[in-house]
Amino acid sequence: MMQMDHPYNQVEMIAFGGLHRLVWGGAVAWLVFACHTGHGGIVNSILNATPFRILSRLSYSMYLTHVMINLFVSSRIRSPFWLDEFQLVYYFLADMAIIVMASVVLYMMYEAPSLTITTIIFRKDKPVDKTPKGPTKGRTEIQSKMNGNTKTNSH
C-alpha cells in the first residue's frame, strides 16, 4: 500500500482501511485460542518461554508508565537538537530502561501483592485423602487417645 509505483485503487484502500484492524484482532484472537487449546505448536513454545512470561507480567505496568515517562522526558527539552540514528537508538534504549525500572517498581508494589491476595482468596483447598495409611489403619493418634487407647494399632 505504501509503494509509490502502486496504482491507487479506491476499493482496495477502503477495504484495507476498514478491515485491517478487525483482521489483525481476529488473527491475535485465533492465536490465543490455538495456544490455549494446545494447537499452538512452536508459537506456543516460544510464548511460554521465561522471558515472555516476565514481560507479560510487566506489560500492563509498562503500558501505565510509558506515557508519563515519555511526557516527562519530552517536556524537559528546551531547545531543538539534531537527531541521527545513533541518538535515536540511544534515547529509545534510555527511555525503555527507565520505563522497565518504573514498571518493576509498580508491579512489585501493587500488582504482585494483589495477585497474591487474589490467589489466596480464590484458591481451592486440596481434597482430604481418606484412605487408611500406616499401622493405625485410618485412625489418627488423637482419635486413638479419645477412644481410650494410648497405643495405635500396629498389626
Q: Where are the domains of the chain?
A: 11-48, 56-123
Vertex 20, ends 16 and 24: CA angle to 5°? 160
Q: Say whether pLDDT at 18 is over 90.
A: yes
Amino acid letter for position 73: V
Mean pLDDT of the chain: 84
pLDDT digits (tens, 9 = 90+) for 22-59: 999 999 999 999 999 999 899 999 988 888 888 888 89
pLDDT of residue 145: 55
Q: Which of 116, 114, 105 is closest to 65 using CA atoms?
A: 105
Helix, strand and coil content of the chain, in percent to the nearest 5, comes to: 70, 0, 30
pLDDT of residue 82: 87
pLDDT bracket for residue 134 (50, 70, 90): low
Contact 58, 87 (CB under 8 A): no
Average pLDDT over every residue of 91-96: 94
